[in-house]
Structure 1
Amino acid sequence: MKKEYAVIGLGRFGGSICKELSREGMEVLAIDLDEDKVNEYKDIASHAVIADSTDENVLKELGIRNIDHVIVAIGDNQQASILTTLMLKELGIKKITVKAQNDYHEKVLNKIGADQVVHPERDMGKRIAHNIISNNVLDYLELSDDHSVVEVKAGKKMIGKTLVDLDIRARYGCNVVGIKRNKEINVSPLASEVILEEDVLIIIGEDKDIFRFEKNLVVEDDE
């Protein structure tokens, strides 16, 4: 059976999630107080409704209890975000992902039981910063406050060397968990693997170690 999703708040963040889930063929219930936004998504989502998500009776009438995963993407109204999350928890929703405006908002959301709290602006800022530091850093994903995964295009210092030669784990405290090559991903590559020019390394580690790795093996290649 297909999972059913609900997206509450159809701003840029919620709207993009709604579009992507719908594109992937998922059942999506789109909810917002703004009639114009709801009309914008009525032909994209499975269902789009004008509703106040802080009203428990409204949520029940929408059949929210039957939804597997609810994404609370309410914009600037932190009170509405918190109240909605609380209602969803009380209604027994299996998984709740909430967009946080700041660290205080995140603490409150965690205390009331949000399953996942995301900071799209902050996380995107970090990703862009990494890309600004080096053109070789292709992508960045935060795992926690101090651990991340990055995709790094092989720099000149890496090409023609094996993972043993580079000794990334011992020198920088990071782990190479995969190598992308010709659209194929080699997971857990052997230490004898030779790095080729178009390879993309998938690195996992603490942010401070990844930064040292980028600074020593990536950034200098761009200068």
Structure 2
Amino acid sequence: MKKQFIVLGLGSFGASVAVTLQQLGCDVVAVDQDMERVNDVAEMVTYAMQADIGNPDLLLSLGSNNYDGLVVAAAEDMEASIMATLVAKEIGIPHVLCKARDNRHAAVLRKIGADAVVFPEEEMGKRIAKNLMSANFADWIALSPDYSVVEVRTPSYWVGKTLKELDLRRAHELNVVGIKDGDRVEITPDPDIPLKEESILMLIGANKTLEKL
């Protein structure tokens, strides 16, 4: 059965989340007060509608207790964001992710039950900065202040060696969670196959260890 999500607010962040969830096979209801934004995503999601996201009756009218999750992507109107989060938790939506405008806003959202609070612009800025500082990495995703997942082209001194030979978990406290070869992704890499120069390795480990690469 498809997972079902509601996305409130269709700015750049909300629209991106809504369309990506739909592309991943979910059913998505996208809502915004701006009809132009609604029209921009209408053909790319299950259902798009214009409505006041601060209206406490909106989620009830959508039968939201049947949904798997809610994304409150409109942080500019703090009152509407807080109201939507409060109603969502009261009616039992399992997972509510909210975009916050600042730390005070984030603190209120967490206090009323938001399961996750994000600062997309700040997090993207940090991610870009890390990528710029670590030119060898194709991508860097922070899991916590101390651990990250990175994508890196196979280091020259690993080429031709197997994961078993390298024993990265013991030697460097790194785990290879996947290998990309072109469009093909292997999420359970064979430890006995030699690594190729053109492959992209998906590594998880401590930031200090990853930075040494």
Shorter-chain TM-score above 0.5: yes
TM-score (norm 1): 0.80
Report what 1:187 is aligned to: 188
Task: Supply the RMSD in Å over aligned alpha carbons.
Answer: 2.6
Q: Secondary structure of the equivalent of 2:43?
A: coil
Q: Where does 1:136-215 land on structure 2 (aligned, <5 Å)? A: 136-163=136-163, 166=166, 168-181=168-181, 183-185=184-186, 187=188, 189-190=190-191, 193-212=193-212, 214=213
For 2:11 and 2:46, how far apart are their aligned partners in 1? 18
Consecutive unaligned residues of structure 1, counting only runs of 5 or more, are 215-223
Report what 1:13 is aligned to: 13
May I ask how many residue pairs the two structures share in their alignment?
212
Letter in 2 for 1:58: L
Report what 1:221 is aligned to: none
Query: What are the superposed Cα offsets for residues 90-131 of structure 1, whole Å, 9 maximum, x if unpaired?
Result: 111122121233444333322222222233223322332232
Q: Does 1:3 align with 2:3?
A: yes
CA spacing shift, 1:187–1:103, aligned 2, 3 Å = farther
Report what 2:128 is aligned to: 128
Q: Secondary structure of the equivalent of 1:149?
A: strand
CA spacing shift, 1:22–1:193, aligned 2, 3 Å = closer
Q: CA deviation at 1:13?
A: 0.7
Query: What are the superposed Cα offsets for residues 130-185 of structure 1, whole Å, 9 maximum, x if unpaired?
Result: 32224431122222232211111112233234446655445543223333345241
Q: Secondary structure of the equivalent of 1:194?
A: coil
TM-score (norm 2): 0.83
1:6–1:69: 8 Å Cα contact kept in structure 2?
A: yes
For 1:14 and 1:162, how far apart are their aligned partners in 2? 42
1:41–1:48: 8 Å Cα contact kept in structure 2?
A: yes
For 2:103 and 2:80, how far apart are their aligned partners in 1? 17
For 1:170 and 1:102, how far apart are their aligned partners in 2? 41
Q: Secondary structure of the equivalent of 1:145?
A: coil
For 2:123 and 2:107, how far apart are their aligned partners in 1? 17
Q: Secondary structure of the equivalent of 2:194?
A: coil
CA spacing shift, 1:31–1:187, aligned 2, 3 Å = same
Report what 2:66 is aligned to: 66
Report what 1:109 is aligned to: 109
CA spacing shift, 1:19–1:81, aligned 2, 3 Å = same
Consecutive unaligned residues of structure 2, counting only runs of 5 or more, are none
